[in-house]
Chain A
Amino acid sequence: MKHIRLLGLLVLTVMALPAQATVFNTVQLDKSRLGFTFKEMGVAIKGGFSRFNAQLNFDPAKPTAASAVIDVDLASVDAGSPDANDEVAGKLWFDTKAFPHARFVSSAVHALGGNRYEAIGTLTIKGRSRTIAAPFTYAGQGATARFDGGFTLKRADFAIGEGEWADFSTVANEVQVAFQIQAGQSAARK
C-alpha cells in the first residue's frame, strides 16, 4: 500500500514537471515592437511596422531549442512620413499588392554567453530569401520574458527600392531592424 502510494506520488510528480517548466510561447503583440532605422541623405529616419504576428517557443532551460516565426504585414509600414508610406508600399519598394508579407522562420538558436543569443533563420521579403543572424537578449521576469535584438539587412538583397531608388546615394543600402518582443506562457502546454 505504502509502495503504491509512493509510486502514485512519483507519477504525479513526473506528470507535473512539464507543466511547471517555463516556456515562453505566447507573444504579447501589444507589448512588442518591430522597428527599423535607415539613412536618407545622411539623416537617420526611424520607422516600423504596426501589424505583425509572431509565434515563439523559448524554454530558458533549453534556449538552443527555441524557435520563432514572425510574419509582418508590410502594408502597416511607417517609413517616417505619409509620403514615404505611400511610396514604400509601391512596386519599386515592398510591392505590397504582390507581396503583402515578410516572413522570418528561425532554423537555429545559438547561445552567445550570459543572456545573449543569436537566432539564425530565413528572411523572405518580396519573394527573395536570405539567411540572417539576429543577436538578441533574453530577460525573464516571472511569467513574462522580453527578447530584444536586431540585425542589419541590405535592402538591395530583397529588391527593396528598385529603379530610380536602386542607387544608394539618397537612401542607404543598410537598414537596421530592431525588435522588442514580449512573451508570456500559455495556460495549456502543447
Chain B
Amino acid sequence: MKTGTTNTRYTRTAIALHWLMAVLILGTFGVGLYMHGLHLSPFKLRIYSWHKWAGVTAFLLLLVRLAWRATHRPPALPLSISLWQRQAAHAGHGLLYLLMIAVPLTGWLMSSAKGFQTVYFGVLPIPDLLAKNKELGDQLAAVHEWLNYTMIALVAGHAAAAVKHHLFDHDDVLIRMAPGLGRRLKNEEEQK
C-alpha cells in the first residue's frame, strides 16, 4: 500500500493549518453557543468581540489554506477505499470549505445589519457591506446559526470517518493528517 512515502502524508503546513482551523472552529462555535444567552455585561461585549476576531482569523487562515492547497496537491486517498466513499469524502471536504467561507461571512454580514461593525482586534475596522436593518440582522442571525449547525455536523462526520478509517479499516487516512505523530507511528511500522 505504501508507495512513495513522500506523497502519502499531508505537508507540515497543511497539517498545521488543518489543526489550527479545527481548534478555532470548535472554540468559536462553542463560544458562539455560550455567549448567545448571556445577560448584557462588559464580559458579554468582550466575548462577542473575541468571537468575531476568532471568526475573522479563521477566515484569513482559510484563505491561506486554500492558497496552500491550490499549490500543494494533497495525497491521494488509498485505493482500498471504494469509489463512492472517495467521492463522498471529496464532497464532504468541498462542503466543509464552502461552510468555512459562508459561516464567517454571514457572521460579518449579520454584525453589520445589527449595527455593530466588526473591528478586528479592536483596531482594524472591516467595512460594513450592509446598513443597519433589524429584520435583515435577525434573518442573517438565523442563517449564521443554521450554517453553523450544518458545519459542526459535517465536522463530526469528518472526524468520525477519520476514526473509522483508523480503527476499522486500518489505513493511514487519519495518520497522514496527524501532527508529528504520523512520522513516529510510521517508523514503528517500518521497524516491524
- Name A residues whose Cβ lies closer than 8 Å to a Cβ of B: 40-46, 80-81, 83-84, 86-87, 164-165, 167, 169-171
Judge whether B115 and A46 touch: CB under 8 Å. yes
Report, as a range, how many residues of chain B touch the other chain: 10 to 19
Q: Name the CB-closest residue of B to A87.
A: B40
A45-B122 contact in complex given A84-B40, A87-B40, A171-B45, C-beta closer than 8 Å: no
A41's partner among B40, B41, B45, B115 (CB-CB below 8 A) is: B45
Q: In the complex, what residue of chain A is closest to B38 when comparing beta carbons?
A: A83
A164 B116 Cβ-Cβ under 8 A: no
B117 at the interface (CB under 8 A from A): yes
Q: Contact flags (1/0) for B108-145 with A, using CB distance below 8 Å?
A: 00000011111101110100000000000000000000
On chain A, the residues within 8 Å of B42 by CB distance are 164-165, 167, 169-171
Contacts A83-B40, A87-B40, A164-B41 hold; do A41 and B114 have CB atoms under 8 A apart? no
CB neighbours of A167 from chain B (8 A): 42
B residues contacting A by CB (< 8 A) are 40-42, 45-46, 48-49, 114-119, 121-123, 125
Q: Which of A43, A44, A80, A169 has the most CB of B within 10 A?
A: A43
Q: Is the CB of B122 within 8 A of A42?
A: yes
Report the nearest A residue to B46, measured CB to CB.
A170
Find out whether the CB atom of A81 lies under 8 angstroms from the CB atom of B41.
Answer: no
CB contacts (< 8 Å) of A45 on chain B: these are 115-116
Q: Decide: A81 and B46 in contact? CB cutoff 8 A.
A: no
**Which 10 residue pairs across A and B have the least CB separation, nearest first?**
A42-B122, A170-B42, A41-B49, A170-B45, A42-B119, A43-B119, A87-B40, A83-B40, A43-B117, A41-B122
Closest CB of chain A to B118's CB: distance in Å? Answer: 8
Distance between A36 CB and nearest chain B CB, rounded to angstroms: 14
* CB-based contact B123/A41 at 8 Å: no
Shortest distance between the CB of A54 and any CB in chain B (Å)? 26
A154-B19 Cα distance, complex, nearest whole Å: 45
Residue of A44, A169, A170, A171 most packed against chain B (CB within 10 A): A170
Q: Which residue of B lies closest to A170 (CB)?
A: B42
Q: Considering the chains assembled together, what is the distance between the CA atoms of A46 and B41 in angstroms?
A: 19
CA distance A171 to B41 in the complex (A): 10
CA distance A45 to B128 in the complex (A): 13
Closest approach, in angstroms, between the C-beta of A169 and any C-beta of chain B? 8
Residue of B nearest to A46 (CB): B115
Assembly CA distance A45 to B125 (angstroms): 13
What are the residues of chain B within 8 A of A43 when measuring CB–CB? 49, 116-119, 122, 125
Query: In the assembled complex, how far is the CB of residue B133 from the closest CB belonging to chain A, in whole angstroms?
Result: 13
**Least Cβ–Cβ distance between A30 and chain B, in angstroms:** 21
Which residues of A have CB within 8 Å of B115?
45-46, 80-81
Contacts of B125 in A (CB 8 A): 43
Chain B residue with Cβ nearest A82: B134
**Chain B CB within 10 Å — which of A41, A164, A167 has the most?**
A41
Closest beta carbon of chain A to B98's beta carbon, Å: 28
**A83–B48 Cα gap in the complex (Å)?**
14
26 contacts between A and B (CB under 8 A): A40-B45, A41-B48, A41-B49, A42-B49, A42-B119, A42-B121, A43-B116, A43-B117, A43-B122, A43-B125, A44-B117, A45-B115, A45-B116, A46-B115, A81-B114, A81-B115, A83-B40, A84-B40, A86-B40, A87-B40, A164-B41, A164-B42, A165-B42, A169-B42, A170-B42, A170-B46
